[in-house]
């Protein structure tokens, strides 16, 4: 055997040895290390997921405590009756007319069970209400504001508004949903929670919406047509304001406490003096003098309350 052949055999043995050594390294060191690394990463992901679930559970626990304090009583029939009466009282307080409140039958609310896989757990009932009524935009806005301030576990699912042009009001149709929970802290009454000042929309936001009155066509022109033409007194000496209320020259005589009959605006006469009249236009108050129109005074800064001005 020549030296060259010997060296080739040695080289071949070295290559085979290196191959087997590499195979052994992969089998006994690299592959187990990769498996252990993958297992470690999997455990780390599961640990992070578990921590995340714990944080979510803690947040949900706090929310459920808040929900339990605000929810209707756990007895669905009692909750149905109490909330319907509360809603009727709110309607009356905000002077919605021709109002009706209809309550649907309670529907069970279920969530996925945390202890039994594939099972569902009942936590309470959902009750839907249908509210219909007529009101001016100002009164409807006040109703919605009071509804929002209340701390009950309720929400408005839908609202439909249709102008009633010849009466100056809106026909409102609302769908309301409330929840009564088994964990409710209120057993025989409704929650007395109220929204905090931070969570309450500033009243000026509602006032701006009312003043703009998106439901009135040409409302600015209509306000400029309402003009104070004269101030007289009747046989009893009661002062009366004479208002032209439209472009046709229709005139109405109104004493303090009366309402100016115009469409889509709530305009009332608060006080009549010899040379001026104090009026409330939707939610703002103004002094109006002879020859002025409502549109003119509305372009000025609103006055304070009657007591403040005096």
Q: Has residue 6 been placed in a domain? A: no
Assess whether 105 and 192 both reside in one domain.
yes
Helix, strand, coil proportions of the chain in percent (round to 5)?
40, 30, 30
Q: Measured between alpha carbons, how far is 158 from 165 in angstroms, rounded to an integer?
A: 23
Assess whether 203 and 98 both reside in one domain.
yes
**31 versus 60: which is more confidently predicted?**
31
Assess whether 196 and 122 both reside in one domain.
yes
Assess whether 158 and 197 both reside in one domain.
yes
Distances (CA, A) of 143 to 59, 100, 148, 281: 32, 15, 9, 17
Provide the pLDDT for residue 305.
44
Q: Which range has the worst mean pLDDT, 8-17, 77-86, 144-153?
A: 8-17
Percentage of the chain exceeding pLDDT 70: 77
Residue 245 · residue 234 · CB < 8 Å: no
Q: Has residue 105 been placed in a domain? A: yes
Assess whether 112 and 189 both reside in one domain.
yes
pLDDT digits (tens, 9 = 90+) for 246-305: 888 889 999 999 988 876 677 889 999 989 999 988 777 899 999 999 888 876 544 554
Q: Measured between alpha carbons, how far is 147 from 83 in angstroms, rounded to an integer?
A: 12
Residue from 214, 190, 203 nearest 87 by CA? 190
∠ CA 181-187-190, nearest 5°, is 80
Handedness of CA 151, 155, 161, 166 (dihedral sign): negative
Q: Measured between alpha carbons, how far is 192 from 187 in angstroms, rounded to an integer?
A: 13
* Structural domain count of the chain: 3
Question: Which residue's structure tokens are 């509210």?
Answer: 131
Provide the pLDDT for residue 1.
66
Give the residues across from 156 on adjacent strands: 176
Provide the pLDDT for residue 196.
65
Provide the pLDDT for residue 310.
39
For residue 60, name the pLDDT band (cuts at 50, 70, 90): low
Residue 278 · residue 239 · CB < 8 Å: no
Q: Has residue 65 been placed in a domain? A: yes
The end-to-end CA distance of the chain, in Å, is: 130
pLDDT digits (tens, 9 = 90+) for 152-195: 889 999 999 887 764 457 889 999 999 988 888 888 888 887 77
Assess whether 89 and 204 both reside in one domain.
yes
Q: Note the maximum CA span of the chain.
A: 148
Q: Write the CATH number for 187.
A: 3.30.70.60
Provide the pLDDT for residue 115.
61
Assess whether 295 and 273 both reside in one domain.
yes
Q: Which residues, 6+ apart, have CB-to-CB distance to 218 below 8 Å?
A: none
Supply the range of the domain harboring residue 173: 76-212
Tell me the two tokens of residue 144: 């919605």
Where a domain ends, among 212, 232, 262?
Answer: 212
Assess whether 200 and 224 both reside in one domain.
no
Provide the pLDDT for residue 307.
40
What is the CB neighbour count within 10 angstroms for residue 230? 13
Question: Which residue's structure tokens are 């889509």?
Answer: 264
Assess whether 120 and 247 both reside in one domain.
no
Assess whether 50 and 22 both reside in one domain.
yes
Where a domain ends, among 212, 234, 256?
Answer: 212
What is residue 118's DSSP assignment? Answer: T
∠ CA 77-81-86, nearest 5°, is 145
Where a domain ends, among 197, 212, 227?
Answer: 212
């Amino acid at each position: 055997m020549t030296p060259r052949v010997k060296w080739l055999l040695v080289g071949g043995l070295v290559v085979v040895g290196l191959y087997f050594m590499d195979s052994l390294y992969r089998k006994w060191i690299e592959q187990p290390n990769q498996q252990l690394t993958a297992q470690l990463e999997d455990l780390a992901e599961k640990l992070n997921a578990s921590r995340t679930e714990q944080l979510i559970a803690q947040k949900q626990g706090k929310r459920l405590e808040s929900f339990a304090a605000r929810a209707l009583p756990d007895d669905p029939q009692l909750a149905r009756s109490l909330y319907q009466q509360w809603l009727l009282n709110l309607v009356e307080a905000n002077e919605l007319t021709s109002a009706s409140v209809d309550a649907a039958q309670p529907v069970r609310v279920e969530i996925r069970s945390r202890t039994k896989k594939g099972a569902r757990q009942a936590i309470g009932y959902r009750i839907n209400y249908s509210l219909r009524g007529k009101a001016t935009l100002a009164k409807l806005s006040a109703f919605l504001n009071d509804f929002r301030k209340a701390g009950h576990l309720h929400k408005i699912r839908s609202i439909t508004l249709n102008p009633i042009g010849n009466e100056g009001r809106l026909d409102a149709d609302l769908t309301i949903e409330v929840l009564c929970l088994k964990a409710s802290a209120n057993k025989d009454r409704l929650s007395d929670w109220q929204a905090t000042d931070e969570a309450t929309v500033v009243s000026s936001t509602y006032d701006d919406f009312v003043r703009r009155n998106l439901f009135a066509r040409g409302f600015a022109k209509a306000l400029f047509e309402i003009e104070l033409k004269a101030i007289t007194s009747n046989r009893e000496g009661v002062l009366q304001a004479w208002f032209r209320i439209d472009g046709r020259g229709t005139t109405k005589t109104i004493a303090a406490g009366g309402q100016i009959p115009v469409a889509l605006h709530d305009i009332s006469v608060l006080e009549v003096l010899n040379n001026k009249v104090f009026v409330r236009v939707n939610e703002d108050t103004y002094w109006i003098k002879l020859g002025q129109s409502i549109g003119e005074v509305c372009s000025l800064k609103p006055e304070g309350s009657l007591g403040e001005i005096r």
